[in-house]
Amino acid sequence: MKITFEREKLLQALQTAAAVVPTRTPKPVLENARLDCKDGECVLQATDLEVGLRCELEGVETEVPGEALLPVRLVMQTLRESREEKLHLESTGTTVLLLGSRSEFQFPTPDPLEYPEVPRFSAETYHQIASRLLRQMIVRTAFAADPQSTRYALGGVYFELGEKTGHAVATDGRRMAIQEGPVERMGEHQPGEGVVLPLRGVQLLERVLGDGEDPVKLAVQDGSAQLQIGSTTVTLRLLEGRFPNWRNVFPKRENPVVLQLNVGEFLSVTRQAAIMTDENHRSVVYTLTSGNMVLSSRGSRFGESRVELPIPYEGEELSVRLDPRFMIDFLRVLDDEGTVTWKVWGPNTAVLAVTDDGYNHLVMPLDPASAA
């Protein structure tokens, strides 16, 4: 293979591929990315056998078609340090030459035929969702997943796709994040009750997805999910295990205290109150009093904190003890200028935060008997 390519475009593609390439693997061939230039197109592939990436490269002139394996991190480092706009690449099967006007790099590589193929998107039935919305679903839920859980289904993001509405849900058993949005079913695509995408996979999607309304195709079949995002295809092996029935988690009690809070202000006071917490005392007490929310904490090493936030509340005093990290994770994915509806029932019931664009976040309270 012999090609001329634009340095910046290959570098960007390899930076995305690096999110897939494993740092430790019993199959060293997977530490590379495969570049195929033939039949008028150039395609870069990377996989760890659970997450796969396939993207078409632009700005490539193919003199001799063929394939090559690229040691991702070495080639990335070389391209970062180069200042040339275009470089040449030649492959003899097990050796790759990277040539500049005044530089030459030689990389020994495995045989490209040893590298597993990342499939093209070929589904005829699928769901379609706007790129911006899918990225929002991931950003607003992935932080609540628990990749260390022995319940494998909690280590990813659960997607439930209906005919017109989709839901993304993640939980670690102590909090749950839910984002809904419009989807469109194309053909008779039936993904079943729902599927769990692995956390590493959705983190890759977050990098690949844009903020526009371009449609993303999502197909589920044979234990995997495939997504086509423009000229890029991502393949994810689904996580096994049963995901909790998230609809049953919402508090059943009526008549909560309902507060409309500015996101930026709420985030600021929560961060301030969290300063005094430590690994042994992770809680902040949120106390509602007439005209005020008082956030207080006490750590075993650092001392105490007390922060006030004026609120439109005139009822009886009400307190709930929460892990401030969960509140911070939730609030920081929202616009600081936005508003969140916060629903509080009491010290022993989960608190619920809701936005006007279909986002729900539940946090379980901590034991009131624990130290503040």
**From the first residue on, what is the mean pLDDT of each consecutive set of 10 residues in the chain (372 residues)?**
96 96 91 94 96 96 96 96 96 92 94 94 95 98 92 93 95 97 92 89 94 93 94 96 92 92 98 89 94 91 90 94 97 98 96 97 84 42
Whether residue 76 is found in the same domain as residue 132 = no
Whether residue 240 is found in the same domain as residue 254 = no
Whether residue 166 is found in the same domain as residue 262 = no
pLDDT for position 371: 44
Spatial neighbors of 235 by CB under 8 A, at least 6 apart, are: 47, 51, 52, 53, 54, 118, 119, 224, 225, 226
CA-CA distance, 293 to 313, in Å (whole number)? 9
Whether residue 206 is found in the same domain as residue 142 = yes
Choose one of 226, 247, 268: the last residue of a domain: 247
Question: For the chain, what is the domain count?
Answer: 3
CA-CA distance, 223 to 331, in Å (whole number)? 34
DSSP string, 300-311: TTTEEEEEEEE-
Report which of 15, 118, 153 is spatially closest to residue 73, judged by C-alpha positions.
15
Q: What is the pLDDT of residues 151-176, one digit of tens each?
A: 889 999 999 999 999 999 999 999 99
CA-CA distance, 37 to 324, in Å (whole number)? 51
Contact 331, 359 (CB under 8 A): no
| Residue 49 phi, psi (nearest 5) | 80, -10
Whether residue 339 is found in the same domain as residue 261 = yes
Spatial neighbors of 267 by CB under 8 A, at least 6 apart, are: 328, 331, 332, 336
Whether residue 259 is found in the same domain as residue 230 = no
Tokens read off for 160: 């439930």
370 part of a folded domain: no
Handedness of CA 179, 181, 183, 189 (dihedral sign): positive
368 part of a folded domain: no
pTM of the model: 0.92
CATH number reported for the structural domain that contains residue 132 in this entry = 3.10.150.10
Domain that holds residue 53: 2-114
Distances (CA, A) of 287 to 163, 291, 308, 309, 310: 42, 11, 9, 10, 12
104 part of a folded domain: yes
pLDDT for position 368: 64
pLDDT for position 372: 40
Whether residue 135 is found in the same domain as residue 243 = yes
Whether residue 106 is found in the same domain as residue 167 = no
pLDDT for position 321: 97
Choose one of 114, 139, 156: the last residue of a domain: 114
119 part of a folded domain: no
Whether residue 235 is found in the same domain as residue 256 = no
Whether residue 227 is found in the same domain as residue 242 = yes
Whether residue 262 is found in the same domain as residue 243 = no
pLDDT for position 166: 96
Whether residue 181 is found in the same domain as residue 216 = yes
Choose one of 84, 114, 144: the last residue of a domain: 114
338 part of a folded domain: yes
Distances (CA, A) of 186 to 183, 213, 217: 10, 17, 9
369 part of a folded domain: no
Report which of 266, 274, 325, 318 is spatially closest to residue 298, judged by C-alpha positions.
274
